[in-house]
Amino acid sequence: MVNDEVNFNDLKTLLDVTDGNLASHMKTLEESKYIKVYKGFIGRKTNTTYSITGAGEKAFREHLNALENMIKGLQ
C-alpha cells in the first residue's frame, strides 16, 4: 500500500511471479472488492493498473494486526 496505484508489469516484477499467477490472484482480489482495476492503453500497448479500495485497505490492516497478535502470542 505504498503506492496509490501500480501497473501489472511493475507488480509482476516486484513480486517475481508469472503472468497467470498474478492475474489469478488479482482477479480474486477484484471479485472481493479489495482492489479496483483500470484497463487502458499506452500507445498500442495494453496497460492494466490496480489500486486498493477502502475495503481492501481495511482487510489488509486487519490481516497485519492478526499476524502481529499471533507473533506476540495473543491470538
To the nearest whole percent, how much of the chain has pLDDT over 70?
97
Q: What is the pLDDT of residues 28-41, one digit of tens each?
A: 999 999 999 999 99
Residue 1 lies in a domain: no
Q: Which grid cell is 8?
A: 501489472
> Average pLDDT of 47-60?
96
Question: Structural domain tally of the chain?
Answer: 1
If phi > 0 it is left, if psi is from -120 to 50 it is alpha, else beta; for residue 3 that is beta
Please answer whether residues 6 and 15 qualify as being in contact, where contact means their C-beta atoms are separated by less than 8 angstroms: no
CATH number assigned to the domain comprising residue 39:
1.10.10.10
Q: Residue 57 is part of which domain span? A: 6-72
pTM summary value? 0.83
Residue 25 lies in a domain: yes
